[in-house]
Structures are given as structure tokens and as C-alpha cells.
Amino acid sequence: MNASTTGRGTSDSLARPQGGGISPFLLKTLITVVIGGFTYALTNATDQPEVWKLTASIFLGGAAMIIQYMIDFERRLGAVESSLTVHNTEMKGLVAEGFAKINQATELFGLVEGSALRPDGVTRLVRNATSVGSDGPPIIRAFAQAEINRLATLMANLNQQHTDYDGEDHDWIVSLTQCASGSIDATSTSVDHDFWPSELGQRYLRAQRDAIRSRGVRIRRLFIVNTPDQIDRALEKLVERQQSLGIHVRVLALSQLPPEAGIDTTNDFIVFDDSLSYEVEPDLQGMNAKTTLDLREDRVARRVKRFEELWEAGDGDPEGE
């Protein structure tokens, strides 16, 4: 019940008779008449002049009427003050809540404006997120909420300079290639045997071709096999095709690595712009089980150094220095 309802209910309760009794106005009139009549009878018993009888009766009757209205006014004033107190408390709460929302919105807007990301992209995300699924089935809203949660988790993890993805990634590798501006250094092991003919592999190669042609990105790829006899015609054709796209390619047999270079692990990884490491971890069946993005400087520096060691040991493109 709000303040206006409370005040109205209090006023109505004072104006209407309760339980079908005498109305307040009629009750005040009766009390006034009774007091006036009693005063007249009292003055008449003392044999006072008629003018004093009437004057005393009218005065006391009028005083009784005024006192009744003063009591009623005080009661009504108290009810109004109580309702105003409740109303003011509610208004203060609403104003405080409104200012809190305004402060939160202002803070978020300031964060967007001060972000290193483009503000138009963030505001477009928020604007579209607020309207998606308003007229659609519940599954659309559930899907949109799940995607927002996934994106929020990704942003939080990127702030911690490390995030991972269960299974094989289908988006990061292409998006990172499209965002690279300087260099891409990548290894490719036997785990990638079925990757290159796939739709994702073809999209990845197209993104690399565009990065080379449009932005002058230097791309080096090192194919890694266990022994030289695994360098077959299929691998040679893959090397030739990627070289035709402008990618610098070398092939490395792990059995021919110098002892000091062979003691480190050799999983698939890609270093983008010497500042981000994209790593794939296979499971026991040779399937890609986990994809990781790592921005920690020490980890990226180790990956850069490891790639240079393996690249120097590989055979192939001399222009990829």
C-alpha cells in the first residue's frame, strides 16, 4: 500500500461512520445541543436574566463545537503527518535507487569510453542484447544468455592473460589470423593431418592469404614429423600449396634434432605478433582436446624462442629467415 492510499484511507475512515453508527457531523451537533441545553437549564435554575441564559448556552455550545473540531483536526493532522512520513521514506528509497542506477550507468559508460576497445562495438553489443529474443521463443533468449555468459567469461579470462576452450576451436584461430598485423609463426604436427582439407582448414588458409596480401603479415609454418621417411608426396604437395599462398614453409624431422633442442616438448602452437600464444593439446587418441590462448609474457617468450630453435633446424624455405 503506498502513501497516497494510506492517507486517503485514513481520511475516509475519519469522515465515514464506522459499523453503520452515527455520522461524525451529526454526533458533533448532538453534543453541542446537549451542552447548550444543559447550560441553559443550569442558568435558568439560578434565575439568571434571559440574555445571560442564551449567551452562556450559545458560548459553551460553540466552545464544545470548536473543541470537537480541534480534536478532529489534530487527529487528521497526525494521520496526514504519518502518511507523509511513509511517503517521504518511500520517495527517498526511490530516489536513492534511481541515483544508484544512474551512477552505475555513468560508471559503465565511463568504462566503455575509457576502454582500449572501440566503444561503438561495445555499445552495439549492449543495444542488440537488450532487444534480442523479445518476440521470439524462449530458446532464443536462453541461447542469447548463454552466449553473453560465454563472452563475459572470455573477457574476464583475457584480463587474466590466459583462457582455454574444451575441444577444437573453430573461431579463435581464424579471428586471430584476421587480427594479426606483424607475424604468425606456427607449427603443424601429425595431429593436423585431417585439419588442412577441412572447412576450417580452408578458411584458415584463406585468412592467411588475405593477411599476407592486404597487410603484409609474415607467416612461417613448420611441419614437424617424427622421422624423415614420413616426408611423403602428400606432405610435399601441402608444402607447395602453402608456399604458393606466400607462406614460408619448412619441414622438420624430430629424429634429426640436435640433443639440446630435442629435450623440450613439441606440441602444436602458433605465435601471433610475438605477443599471443595459441596452443592445442591432443588427447591419448591424437584428437585436439583443448585449445588455449596465453598472453603471459614469459610463456609467449618461451614459445617464440622454441619456434626459432625448431625453425633453424628445419629444411626448406631460405627466405623465411
Q: How confident is the model at residue 187, as a pLDDT?
A: 93
Domain 166-320 belongs to what architecture? 2-Layer Sandwich (3.30)
d(C-alpha 269, C-alpha 201), whole Å: 15
Task: Burial-class residue 101 by CB neighbours within 10 Å (0-12, 13-18, 19+).
Answer: exposed
pTM of the model: 0.63
Q: How confident is the model at residue 7, as a pLDDT?
A: 45
* Residue 279 neighbours by CB under 8 Å, 6+ apart: 267, 268, 269, 270, 291, 292, 293, 294, 303
CA-closest candidate to residue 239, choices 218, 221, 257, 266: 221
Q: Where are the domains of the chain?
A: 3-98, 166-320
Q: How confident is the model at residue 285, as a pLDDT?
A: 61
Q: How confident is the model at residue 260, as a pLDDT?
A: 64
Q: How confident is the model at residue 264, as a pLDDT?
A: 61
SS3 of 112-167: HHHCCCCHHHHHHHHHHHHHCCCCCCHHHHHHHHHHHHHHHHHHHHHHCCEEEEEC
Q: How confident is the model at residue 319, as a pLDDT?
A: 63
3-state SS class at 23: coil
Q: How confident is the model at residue 218, as a pLDDT?
A: 97
pLDDT digits (tens), the chain, 321 positions? 444 444 444 444 444 544 456 777 777 777 777 777 777 677 767 676 777 667 777 777 777 778 877 888 888 888 888 888 888 888 877 877 766 666 665 666 666 666 666 777 777 777 777 777 677 788 888 888 888 888 888 888 888 888 887 777 778 999 999 999 999 999 998 777 788 899 989 999 999 999 999 999 999 999 998 888 888 899 999 999 999 999 999 999 888 887 666 556 667 899 999 999 998 876 666 566 688 899 999 999 999 999 998 998 887 666 665
